[in-house]
Structure 1
Amino acid sequence: MTDTLNPAERCGYPRARNLLSVAYCRVKRGEALETYKPVRVLIAENQRDLSDVMSELIDTEPDMQCVGQVSDASQVVAAARNSSANVLILDLMLQGGSGLPLVEQLTSALPGLRVIIFSGLAGSDEVAREAKRRGAAAILTKGCDFQLLLQTLRSTTSEAAAS
């Protein structure tokens, strides 16, 4: 008889979608000493309620962790340098200034950091072109489905690991 269960199902964690999730489930069951979450997210968002909700939802994912939140443009670079983040969710309308000029500064100073623009303004073609030109890995509108945000976080992290 052929074993048709995927590794996640064999581990007894049907929600897991890949081997990394299996590793996480083993940690939860006490089968491993530690886990590594490859998607470490820093959130730069001026709306604290939205930032808190995103952080909580990201932390429920077995392969993700929110490593910090900032709301002021002047805090973003320092927070990115001092955190273990490999992905930054960046609002364009931060307290103290625009997030757009930060994209180029961050991507050149921290080449391992992927920047995802997450803004109500992201639907503008001009803003999207400028963000991409400055080095943004992806651009999402605040009205997007949360699953799309999760998918984008994962794909930008895997692209960075592959390069």
Structure 2
Amino acid sequence: MIKVAIIEDNNSLRRSLRNLIDDAPDMQCVAEFGNLLNVVSEFHKTSPHVVLMDIGLPHISGIEGVVTVKENFNNVLVLMFTVFEDDEKIFEAIKSGASGYLLKKTAPEEILEAIRSLYQGGAPMSASIARRVIESFQKNNSNTREVFNLTTRESEILHSLVEGLSYKKLSEKYFISISTVRTHIRHIYEKLHVNSKAQAVAKALKKM
């Protein structure tokens, strides 16, 4: 069972999200908040796996909230859920530790699939957001490669991680075994000093 917390200041939307999650057979909404003021103490009680978080929150912004959540609960996965599509907000959220980024116009079933994907190790993003991240990465790909001393193939695979490709898809794209994919990704993690796909993407974006 995937335990989900919702941080959204729109009461009606928050209730709708809670109902959506509670109606899913493999999820449970364990906490919901209109702001970030009591999140740390409540998370100690409810231990969510995934947090669905708005950016435009009162008192403390969602981007600051990502930092707070990750500092106190490193294993909790944060999925931004927002109306903001501008590059600055997207990259700020990812660099702060968010593992996925959805727009509020996302269809209900896609929201559930994004939560499942995140829980299983993915980095879900709305299609328009993913395109912006990929375009930015492509413009700065050579700089990222030089900064982290990546090989050409490692840089290609990191680019594909930004696109959200699975190990199986990476294997098919580059005509290599899944074992070889794992080896390349392990080397990327070592060079970037990270231990997850989301951290690798975030660290690459910080150098752009």
The TM-score normalised by the length of structure 1 is 0.71
- 1:29: which partner in 2? none
- 1:93: which partner in 2? 56
- 2:99: which partner in 1? 137
Q: Structure 2 matches for 1:45-124, cutoff 5 A? A: 45-121=8-84, 123-124=85-86
Q: Any stretches of 5+ residues in structure 2 without a counterpart?
A: 123-195, 197-208
CA distance in 2, matches of 1:159, 1:106: 18
- 1:158: which partner in 2? 120
Aligned letter for 2:86?
A: S
- 2:110: which partner in 1? 148
Taking only aligned residues, the RMSD between alpha carbons, in angstroms, comes to 1.5
- SS of corresponding position for 1:111: coil
Whether contact under 8 Å (2:40, 2:72) holds in the other structure is no
Aligned letter for 1:46?
A: D
Q: Structure 2 matches for 1:10-49, cutoff 5 A? A: 37=1, 39-49=2-12
CA distance in 2, matches of 1:84, 1:76: 11
Cα deviations by residue, 1:6-39 (Å, 9 ceiling, x for unpaired): xxxxxxxxxxxxxxxxxxxxxxxxxxxxxxx1x1
- 1:33: which partner in 2? none
Identity %: 29
The structural deviation recorded for 1:55 is: 0.4
CA distance in 2, matches of 1:97, 1:111: 19
Structure 1 or 2: larger strand share? 1
CA distance in 2, matches of 1:77, 1:102: 10
Q: How many residues align?
A: 123
Aligned letter for 2:3?
A: R
Aligned letter for 1:93?
A: G
Whether contact under 8 Å (1:70, 1:79) holds in the other structure is no
The structural deviation recorded for 1:80 is: 2.4
CA distance in 1, matches of 2:36, 2:25: 29
CA distance in 1, matches of 2:3, 2:80: 16
Aligned letter for 2:106?
A: C
Moved over 6 A (4+): none
Structure 1 or 2: larger helix share? 2
Q: Any stretches of 5+ residues in structure 1 without a counterpart?
A: 1-36
The TM-score normalised by the length of structure 2 is 0.56
CA distance in 2, matches of 1:127, 1:81: 28
- SS of corresponding position for 2:38: helix
